[in-house]
Copies of this chain bind each other. A is one copy, B any other.
Amino acid sequence: MDQVDKIISPSWIFDAEEGDRVLQDHSIVVNDGKILDIVPTIDVFSLYEASEAYQLTNHLILPGFINAHSHSAMSLLKGYADDLPLDTWLNNHIWPAESQHVGFDFVKDGSSLAIAEMIKGGTTTFNDMYFFPEATAEVVSKVGIRANIGLGVLDFATNYANDPEDYLTKGFAFRDQWRDHKLITTCLAPHAPYTISDKTFETINTYAEQLDLGIHMHLHETSQEVEGSIKEYGVTPIQRMQDLGILGPKLMAAHCVHVSEADAELLAINGVSAICNVSSNMKLGSGIPDLRQLLNCEINVALGTDSSASNNALDMMREMRSLSLVSKGLNMTSEFLKPAELIRMATINGAKALGLEEITGSISKGKRADIIAINLDTIESQPCYEPLSSFMYSADRSSIEYVWIDGNTKLNQGQLVCLDEDEILQKTKIWQSKIKKI
């Protein structure tokens, strides 16, 4: 009998692969942080001896969620300026507050708050874009969550850097420091077409090609962004990115709310991943992404929360449910989007977008053990005729009871075991009293 680290025996496993198969009464065998085997529970204990065995008879197991677009440190600005349009929100509230407060400590404490919320909500990997990435990386390393951390670039000065060269110098210094960490990957993160010049994009593209790095950026978030680009450049932002050679399978395009047929084709032909952030888009009044259009073009669609300053939650279950319901409502077809499809967007599609599909995003032998367990034996989720349906439409994130990342337990019986919630809450309140409301 092989000695292994963990055996997890739930009622149901959905691996997030094509085919929508839900395995019943199977066990996941975890060793050295890896999914070693998936076998019928009736056989597992005659094959393996485990240090820890989890009998989860009321639970659905899924791959951990991949939050494919976040600005985690902005959780300290959660609820700071609500019910405002994107430009007022950014120019009059968020950017002034950031210029006053953002620094290494802000990013470190904001990232802790965000990561605590994300793990409780079943997120095991996040794709972050912000300043002082070394502060986020410090928390990521301490907690043991998986992260793709962007090297942020803007054409203008912030508390973090002065000009594009300065951003990139600092970004690459950060990258060099953390490049060997097993849970951290990096990518280039130019903010958006309306904050980055062609010249800077050209530099970024050169680095991306030389270093084989992904690019994470905002693209077609608002109709004003598209109109502004047509006015300034004569083409839409997507067409401009095509002309600059930025479109490609390594581009993670956050938002894609206002996309013409021609632009959707450009995304599709180039293998760009679109990252939907439907709660943030709706709350800021930016619009609602046309999921049917993106899927009709066979674009890889992943999901993100955007920041807590615009969402105001880092809850991937909400994102799945909201995108599902609003897409059914807008298209007036309830058959559109089965729960399994949404779960794939929140897991394996995110892994593909981030270039991590060999490592995570599905429950597959050989992948790292990024796994979550949801208790469906609750007043809210019972009866349970179909576990994916109970998960998608009835359960909340409060039903997530276990989270394992790279094989390590991060949430145990609903309790965070990798971060001190009280300490985070105390620090958050100190930041709130400093920041106040304008």
B396 lies within 8 A of A326 (CB) = no
Most chain B CB neighbours (cut-off 10 Å) among A79, A89, A384, A437: A79
0/1 per residue, A229-273, Cβ < 8 Å to B?
000000000000000000000000000000000000000000000
A380 on interface, CB distance cutoff 8 Å: yes
Residues of B contacting A83 in the complex (Cβ-Cβ under 8 angstroms): 334-335, 337-339, 389
Residues of B contacting A329 in the complex (Cβ-Cβ under 8 angstroms): 278, 281-283, 285-288, 326
A367 on interface, CB distance cutoff 8 Å: no
CB-contacts of A64-98 with B (<8 A): 76-80, 82-86, 89
B223, B313, B337, B384: the one contacting A380 at CB < 8 Å is B313
A212 on interface, CB distance cutoff 8 Å: no
B85, B113, B335: the one contacting A84 at CB < 8 Å is B335
Closest Cβ–Cβ distance, residue A72 to chain B (whole Å): 13
Closest Cβ–Cβ distance, residue A420 to chain B (whole Å): 11
A432 lies within 8 A of B383 (CB) = yes
Question: Total interface residues on A, using CB and 8 Å?
Answer: 72
A297 on interface, CB distance cutoff 8 Å: no
> Provided the pairs A283-B325, A377-B425, A380-B117 are in contact, do residues A288 and B330 lie with their beta carbons within 8 angstroms?
yes
A385 lies within 8 A of B80 (CB) = yes
B282, B394, B436: the one contacting A79 at CB < 8 Å is B394
Residues of B contacting A380 in the complex (Cβ-Cβ under 8 angstroms): 117, 120, 313, 315
> Provided the pairs A78-B383, A383-B78, A432-B384 are in contact, do residues A285 and B334 lie with their beta carbons within 8 angstroms?
yes
A284 on interface, CB distance cutoff 8 Å: yes
Residues of B contacting A141 in the complex (Cβ-Cβ under 8 angstroms): none
B382 lies within 8 A of A429 (CB) = yes
A158 on interface, CB distance cutoff 8 Å: no
0/1 per residue, A328-358, Cβ < 8 Å to B?
1111111111110000000000000000000
> Provided the pairs A285-B331, A335-B85 are in contact, do residues A116 and B379 lie with their beta carbons within 8 angstroms?
yes
CB-contacts of A356-399 with B (<8 A): 377-380, 382-386, 389-390, 393-394, 396-398
For A81, give the chain B residue with the smallest CB separation: B385
Q: How far is the CA of A333 from the CA of B88 in the complex (A)?
A: 12
A382 lies within 8 A of B113 (CB) = yes
For A58, give the chain B residue with the smallest CB separation: B425
Q: How far is the CA of A332 from the CA of B113 in the complex (A)?
A: 30
B386 lies within 8 A of A437 (CB) = yes
Q: How far is the CA of A338 from the CA of B82 in the complex (A)?
A: 9
B85, B382, B435: the one contacting A333 at CB < 8 Å is B85
Residues of B contacting A287 in the complex (Cβ-Cβ under 8 angstroms): 329, 332
- Contacts A83-B334, A282-B328, A315-B380 supplied; 9 other A-B pairs, CB < 8 Å: A279-B325, A282-B326, A287-B332, A312-B389, A377-B425, A378-B425, A383-B428, A383-B431, A396-B396
Listed by A's residue number, 16 A-B pairs whose Cβ atoms lie within 8 Å are A78-B385, A79-B384, A80-B385, A82-B339, A82-B393, A83-B335, A85-B333, A223-B332, A278-B329, A279-B325, A282-B328, A285-B331, A285-B336, A322-B325, A383-B429, A383-B435
Q: Which 6 residue pairs are nearest across A and B when measured between Cβ atoms?
A: A282-B329, A285-B334, A398-B398, A383-B432, A282-B325, A312-B393
